Structures are given as C-alpha cells and as structure tokens.
Structure 1
Amino acid sequence: MHSPVPQRRRVVLSTVSSDSHTWNLVFLQLLLQELGHEVVNLGPCVPDDLVVAAVREHRPHAVVISSVNGHGHLDGVRLARALRAHPDTRDVPAVIGGKLGVAGADDGAMAAELIAAGFDRVFIDAGELDALTGYLAMLPARDRLQVTGAR
C-alpha cells in the first residue's frame, strides 16, 4: 500500500468539462487524503474557466484531472492550454489520467498531444496510481504558490 508523504501537498482535483463521473473523484480524493494531502475536489463537469479560477484561489501544489468518459484528450488539451495561458496558473504542475479517448484511439499520440498542450504528466493506465502518488510526493515542498496577479 501507499505510505504517507512527509510533506502535505494541496491538490486541486477535477474531471474534464464533459465528464459527469464522480466515483473516480471520490476514490482519488480519499486516496490522496489518506496520503496526507489536502484535496480541493471540484467535482464533475467543471468548465475550464472554473478550474483556472480554483487554481488561482487555492494556489495548489498540483492539479489532478481524471477522465472516465473517453473525452480526456479533447477536453484535456483545451484545459491545459487554459491553465498555461494564465500567468497565475501557468507554472502549476498539472497531470491528467484515465480514459483519454474512445474506440481504439492511440493513447501514446494522445498523451503526447496533452503534454504538448501543457500537462506535465499523463497517466494512461489505472495501474499508475503509484506513479501519480510518487509524482506528487516529489513536488517541491512550499507553503503556497506565489500569485503574480490580483485576485
């Protein structure tokens, strides 16, 4: 099982805007909290601008996006570009994982496009939970991210 991290991280957790699934968010929230992280769970179907606003407000160590509906690639590219376009959110580590496409889509190509759009890591396989938790544990420890603009 996962061992608790020595430094608490603040994580903003959400799905992509078209994904109405919640069980994945509940699971990830409980897992991350068990590891000692503070989780701000935005819930399902969150528009890109609200994810950006939440990241600006909560100044997390990372953004974790989970996709179950198979639209993670399409919606994720747009979300990554929105996060990277804003000066207050452009440097916040952001990861995405889950079902990125439908009907035999090439996960490798989609992952590459998501990285190019601005995600720092893409987790394709559900078995990569250890990789996700390890990634979060390796993030620089700091109290809060600095905000460059007015809120």
Structure 2
Amino acid sequence: MLMNPVNAAVAPRGRTILLSSVSSDSHTWNLVFLQLLLEETGHRVINLGACVADELLVQECSAIRPDLVVISTVNGHGQVDGLRLIRKLRSEPRTRDTPVVIGGKLGITGGAEADDRARRLVSAGFSAVFQDDAEPTEIGRFLASLDHPAPRHPVATS
C-alpha cells in the first residue's frame, strides 16, 4: 500500500472501500488511480476491477460490508448502468444502507442534462454523484462528511 504520511495523518480513520466499475465499463486506469488515491489517504481498498456484473457487486458488498462503495465509469453509460445497479443494491437488506457513490462520465451529453442525470442518480439511492470534471479532493470531502452524516450528500458539481 502506498502511504503518504502527511495525508494519512489527517485521514479521519481508515475505511474499507469497495471499488468497481459499472458492468459495461472495461476501463481500468480510472480504477487504479482511485485505488491509489484512496489508499494514500489511509483507506483499505478492495478493487473488484472492470466489467463487474451487478449481481457480483451486490454479492461482494453483502459479504464484505464496506464502509463505502465507489463506482467509477468512463464509457458514458454510467447513468443507465448506475440506476440499475443502485436499485439492486438498495433492494437487498444487507446493502440497503451502505453509502454508494458514482463518478465519471455518466452520459454522452453535458450541460443541464448532466445535472439532471446526477439528480436522478441521487434520487435513485446514490449517496453522492461526482461529474467527470470533479476534482479528486471532492471524494476526500465526501469521506470526511461520513463522520458527520447528513440525510443526503448534495450532488457534487464543479
């Protein structure tokens, strides 16, 4: 595990984070980047990799009981795949209350449509949505907010 002592010293506490892509997304560098970022801030990351079937993610989430699930996507199918996935996670008793965030390229258009997509994903059950232009520090702020839970984390926009 890569550890930046400065960042580790300010991490509120190490969490177990389950990291994955949506089922249709075969990209891996985004997952590697996120894993390193999260590990450097003191968290334990279980990276399921790319193209993870919804059922497998639900099964692993039920077994591991992570503090947070991070879904990353860069192929533009994040909204469609994310909506299907979050409905499955929220329908299972063991994953119903697990914080789940999604980020990356959630669709193929931007502007107001991107904000609408983000609102739909939060309404469906995601704890937060990070648009593809979000700064890496936004996930850190979200993690810090888990120490002081609010009913819903607002949609992250830049």
- Shorter-normalised TM-score: what interval? 0.7 to 0.9
Structure 1 CA distance for aligned equivalents of residues 93 and 119 of structure 2: 23
Alignment of 1:1-151 (within 5 A): 3-4=7-8, 5-104=11-110, 106-140=113-147
Runs (5+) with no aligned partner, structure 2: 149-158
Structure 2 CA distance for aligned equivalents of residues 56 and 32 of structure 1: 21
The TM-score, its normalising length taken from structure 2, stands at: 0.83
What letter matches 1:123 in structure 2?
A: F
Structure 2 CA distance for aligned equivalents of residues 60 and 138 of structure 1: 16
Structure 2 CA distance for aligned equivalents of residues 73 and 6 of structure 1: 31
Structure 1 CA distance for aligned equivalents of residues 99 and 38 of structure 2: 16
Runs (5+) with no aligned partner, structure 1: 142-151
Pairwise CA RMSD of aligned residues?
A: 1.8
Higher RCO structure (Cα 8 Å, ≥6 apart): 1
Moved beyond 6 Å, runs of 4+: none
Q: Share of identical aligned residues, percent?
A: 54
Structure 2 CA distance for aligned equivalents of residues 25 and 87 of structure 1: 27
Structure 1 CA distance for aligned equivalents of residues 115 and 54 of structure 2: 24
What letter matches 1:115 in structure 2?
A: V
SS of the residue 2:70 aligns to = strand
Q: Which stretch has the larger CA shift, 27-36 or 96-105?
A: 96-105
The TM-score, its normalising length taken from structure 1, stands at: 0.87
- 2:156 paired residue number: none
What letter matches 1:85 in structure 2?
A: S
